[in-house]
Structure 1
Amino acid sequence: MASDAGPVSDLEQQEEPHLSTAQRKLYTFCGRRAFSSYVASKRDGRGGGGGDGVWRCCDQTFTEPSSVHKHVARTHQAEVHRLTESTFRGFLDQLEDDNNKACKDRDHQDLPEPVDVSSWLPDTSHLTQEELQKGPGKVLLYYRYFGVDDPQALCAWQKALCEKLHLTGKVRVATEGINGTVGGTVLATDIYVKTMRSHALFSTMEEEDFKSSDGGAECFSGLKVGVYEEIVPMGVKPDVISYQLAGTHLNPEQFHKEVESLLSESSQDTVLLDCRNFYESKIGQFSRCLAPNIRKFSYFPDYVDQNLDLFRGKKVLMYCTGGIRCERASAYLLSKEVCKEVYQLKGGIHKYLERFPDGFYRGKLFVFDERYTISSNADVISECRYCGSPWDQYQLCTTRFCCQLVLSCAACRVAGRTACCAACQTKGLWQGEQSSATGPAQIKEECECTDQRPRIPQDSL
């Protein structure tokens, strides 16, 4: 995402095959904390080497963070492994205690009766399970902002509806609305859209509000439906920055004309802003856009705060994958009262590419499922991180428990260059030198991909 010098631990034997995505992320976090703690334990602030001091380990003195990191990663894998495992167990035990306490608390409360959603489900008695599960498939992407009085009831209905139609994917429900991406057969997804639109809460939605692409249930590892504070995680409470304060929507034709004008006139008064994460814009973007080098959408507010001068007195054209991030992002930008005007692409890149497959957006469109990308043109704007040849097909880093995405071309992958950065790549080589009989390793040191990238970059136009 190879083997350790010691025997496989009980944790590895019992838990590794069953680690969920959340547990993978937790283990990664524990690994980083363990590595940082171990390095910190070797620090000697009396070294006189300036602000960072020096590190002393194994009768050696290190004056640079990178050198002590490499030493610890090479020499002290077993110690870091044990510390990682101990930290991971501690978190799991704490989570279990919290869950048990929550269950006991609920036992002493008057809980509402479960919602009966059977009347909201479609009649599929005339269809066989094979008809619902076999055949051509597609993936739907949609959202709707509106006031939800009972998000738990809406969540229960969505879960039952998706299970009935054998759909996989993710659905987020909140008091501010719903955000979903689901995959299944064409028949099942069509029934899903019809059922949604027949419900009173979604009767104003049009078929075109459900963006579709080739795919199916296999594009997701399972089904996850839940209630959250935000339907897209920007990290700002909806009652602080509401979608109702969003910028002006432009349909694909209007947005296309605005970008065309920007490119032809080389206007200095307009900013074309990509509201997505760096790994999304890296493989596809509009010509002459400002693409922030941020890793999460929750970093966007801080990015705006630290780069206000970029938008001062400007007209801003914003875009994202399907339009949902722009709803909150434009509202946040407008709240700063520095822009002349703020516009957003209605339906996002998804809808723009349907109308202008060879327009001003070049490269692939990143999607949050196991396809990673969909395409409408043949342009490749990114390159292999190892050899620099044109390449835009993401795969997960092969260092265990690393969740970073890697652009590594076919030739480099054959040569074993499959990690996201030098630290992970070297880690993989060290593991490969060990005997496979000793079992798999689970060490995850600090990853250069995150260490060397500023959390909130300072940009210029």
Structure 2
Amino acid sequence: MASDDGLFFLDDFETSTGDESKQEKLQLSTSLRKVYTCCRRRAFSSYVASKRKGSGDGDSISQPIWHCCDQTFGEPSSVHKHVARTHEAEVQQLTESTFHGVLRQQEDKACGGQLPGGHHTEEPVDTSSWLPDTSHLTEEELQTGPGKVLLYYHYFRLDDPHTVCAWQKALCEKLHLTGKVRVATEGVNGTVGGTTLATDLYVKTMRSHTLFNTMEEEDFKSSDGGAECFSGLKVGVYEEIVPMGVDPDVISYQLAGTHLNPEEFHQEVESLLSEGESSQDTVLLDCRNFYESKIGQFSQCLAPNIRKFSYFPDYVDQNLDLFRDKKVLMYCTGGIRCERASAYLLSKEVCKEVYQLKGGIHKYLERFPDGFYRGKLFVFDERYTVPSDADAISECRYCSVPWDQYQLCTTRFCRQLVLSCPACRGAVQTACCVPCQAKGPQQGEESSATGPAQLKEECECTDQRLRIPQDAP
């Protein structure tokens, strides 16, 4: 399934070699391609920052300006365009330097040296005292009975993410929870499933820890489900707890927009809808991916047709006029993407105001199940969706009847999500595109000599998609 932290294959990119006239494709793993993209964004941001000066009146904060190539730029968008057009070679050199540094750091880690995040350790930290006492419970009690899926995040400065990662892995295993937990120096983001008893104990244990005791119970969004909603447990340390592809030290969650609770957000949307098409000064922005907004969204929203959240910064950069002098109301599934997305949008200094829905669609639907959100809510587990109302706002890709339940493309190793109604699935119309349909379910299997085939999340149909759409203001 396509997800914000799943297996993605970025577009091929080129890098200069010793011979500047020669370009060669880097054949990298998915994880290294993500690292390279992050390094390039960091290099670009650093280069632009090096050109920043104080304002003409000495105010270095409220009115920044940039000097480059004997030119003065008063807006971030203008200096960004200049650097992109004129200083590609310098940015590329910085990118490669940063990227090779990261590779050296990974080599050091493999040899027992410094770990990402600057933490040196010779032996694992004992986290057993952080685990709950379950001696009064049987394994059967922890594993059987009604279940839940939890969704949560917590931004804060975390100096030792590897120790927290080890603790989270041990905690989830002890409680027989499955799911995904991302740990970084900027905080933790997780979605886990298990029995109600186990998930309640997980929340209690989290909130009793000194690092998480500022979290409230309502910070853990829950829905019906269980351990069966995930194929296993994945806990790891990452640079970002939500993969936007921008250095958290450059665009921090601390610079996020103003939070609106569900009641306040509902009032804002109600006011916007009452104005109808006459509204010119407010944008209701969906920060999710196209396959999420396709099956459920707020009425009259702007839903960018992007495949993943790491494309969002480029979408903003190429569509700044959509947000210029506007009030922006932003939302996502649980609120986490808005924290970084609103900070990025605010960094462009084009909006009048930026607001975000606290707790995301999850919390809005708890308060307003019959509100202004139409369709289903996409979730990143094997349920794919949780219901919000009876309306189906999307269609079967084959016969166009209303349908909003995703299933995987049946071509072997293709991981695209497909909207195919029961009648069409009965007619074996189950692929994401015509080429996949023609391949059949066995196509793409690799020989055992080369090892198991890697699950791909793009094929001919994704190659033809416009990576960053241009939306008219």
Same fold, judged at TM 0.5 (above): yes
Q: Is the 8 A contact 2:411 2:443 kept in 1?
A: no
> Cα deviation per residue 1:146-183 (whole Å; 9 max; x = unaligned)?
00011111111111100000000000000000000000
Question: Which residue number corresponds to residue 181 of structure 1?
Answer: 191
Confirm whether residue 335 of structure 1 aligns to residue 347 of structure 2. yes
> Cα deviation per residue 1:398-452 (whole Å; 9 max; x = unaligned)?
11111110000000001010000111111128969xxxxxxx9999897232122
Shift of residue 29, structure 1, vs aligned partner: 8.4
- CA distance in 2 between partners of 1:260 and 1:331 (Å): 25
SS class of match (1:249): strand
Confirm whether residue 322 of structure 1 aligns to residue 328 of structure 2. no
Q: What are the ranges of 5 or more consecutive residues in structure 1 without an aligned counterpart?
A: 2-20, 31-36, 38-97, 433-439
Shift of residue 105, structure 1, vs aligned partner: 2.3
Equivalent residue in structure 2 for 1:244, among 222, 229, 254: 254
Question: Which residue number corresponds to residue 418 of structure 2?
Answer: 406
Question: Residue type of the partner of 1:105?
Answer: C
Question: Residue type of the partner of 1:225?
Answer: V
Q: How does 1:93-132 map to 2 (within 5 A)?
A: 105-106=111-112, 111-132=121-142
- CA distance in 2 between partners of 1:351 and 1:418 (Å): 33
Shift of residue 103, structure 1, vs aligned partner: 7.2
Question: Residue type of the partner of 1:170?
Answer: K
Question: Which residue number corresponds to residue 198 of structure 1?
Answer: 208
SS class of match (2:471): coil
Question: Which residue number corresponds to residue 364 of structure 1?
Answer: 376
Q: How does 1:364-443 map to 2 (within 5 A)?
A: 364-428=376-440
- The alignment-based identity, stated in percent, is 83
Shift of residue 386, structure 1, vs aligned partner: 0.2
Shift of residue 101, structure 1, vs aligned partner: 6.2
Question: Which residue number corresponds to residue 241 of structure 2?
Answer: 231
Shift of residue 113, structure 1, vs aligned partner: 1.9
Return structure 1 stretches of 4+ with deviation > 3 angstroms.
98-104, 107-111, 429-432, 440-446
How does the TM-score come out when normalised to structure 2? 0.73
Q: Is the 8 A contact 1:141 1:211 kept in 2?
A: yes
Q: Is the 8 A contact 1:171 1:181 kept in 2?
A: yes
- CA distance in 1 between partners of 2:202 and 2:121 (Å): 30
- CA distance in 2 between partners of 1:446 and 1:295 (Å): 10
SS class of match (1:180): strand
SS class of match (1:183): strand
- CA 1:120–1:311: 2 relative to 1, 3 Å: same
Q: What are the ranges of 5 or more consecutive residues in structure 2 without an aligned counterpart?
A: 12-24, 26-103, 445-451
Shift of residue 216, structure 1, vs aligned partner: 0.2
Q: Is the 8 A contact 1:431 1:441 kept in 2?
A: no
- CA distance in 1 between partners of 2:463 and 2:417 (Å): 15
Question: Residue type of the partner of 2:150?
Answer: L
Confirm whether residue 215 of structure 1 aligns to residue 225 of structure 2. yes
Question: Which residue number corresponds to residue 34 of structure 1?
Answer: none
Shift of residue 284, structure 1, vs aligned partner: 0.1
Shift of residue 204, structure 1, vs aligned partner: 1.1
Q: Is the 8 A contact 1:140 1:212 kept in 2?
A: yes
Question: Where is the helix percentage greater, Structure 1 or Structure 2?
Answer: 1
SS class of match (2:424): helix
> Cα deviation per residue 1:81-108 (whole Å; 9 max; x = unaligned)?
xxxxxxxxxxxxxxxxx99966762289
Q: Is the 8 A contact 2:408 2:417 kept in 1?
A: yes
Question: Which residue number corresponds to residue 164 of structure 2?
Answer: 154
Question: Residue type of the partner of 1:363?
Answer: G
- CA distance in 2 between partners of 1:443 and 1:149 (Å): 34
Question: Residue type of the partner of 1:253?
Answer: E
How does the TM-score come out when normalised to structure 1? 0.75
- CA distance in 1 between partners of 2:346 and 2:310 (Å): 17
- CA distance in 1 between partners of 2:403 and 2:212 (Å): 40
- CA distance in 2 between partners of 1:446 and 1:137 (Å): 33
Shift of residue 460, structure 1, vs aligned partner: 2.0
Question: Which residue number corresponds to residue 169 of structure 1?
Answer: 179
SS class of match (1:212): strand
SS class of match (2:440): helix
Q: Is the 8 A contact 1:25 1:403 kept in 2?
A: no
- CA 1:390–1:153: 2 relative to 1, 3 Å: same
